């Protein structure tokens, strides 16, 4: 993945993280097929803009913001 973009890992939007998708059913028999878009955990990586991340950080409550700052400071050392 390029280093000039920020990626987040979210539940798959095609199967809602269930890994099952009726969109990819076998035409021969009526059975569920595995979702081709997500990994074994039902998650996908999507890019996020810096402004969206800043809005999310602004919306955090003070305790979550404090924990985030502590985590970032710990990783910076």
9, with CB counted inside 10 A (0-12, 13-18, 19+), is: exposed
pLDDT at site 5 = 80
pLDDT tens-digit series, residues 6-63: 888 999 888 887 877 655 555 666 666 678 888 888 899 989 888 888 999 999 999 9
Element housing 53 (H / E): helix 50-58
pLDDT tens-digit series, residues 53-69: 899 999 999 999 999 99
Total-model pTM? 0.56
pLDDT at site 59 = 95
Torsion, Cα 39 67 64 51, to 10 degrees, reads -70
Domain map (residue ranges) of the chain: 6-76
């Amino acid at each position: 993945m390029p280093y000039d973009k920020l990626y987040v890992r979210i539940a798959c939007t095609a199967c809602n993280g269930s890994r099952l998708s009726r969109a990819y059913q076998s035409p021969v028999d009526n059975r569920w097929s595995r979702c081709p878009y997500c990994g074994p955990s039902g998650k996908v990586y999507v890019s996020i803009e810096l402004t969206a991340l800043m809005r999310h950080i602004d919306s955090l409550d003070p305790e979550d913001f404090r924990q985030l700052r502590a985590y970032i400071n710990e990783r910076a050392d």
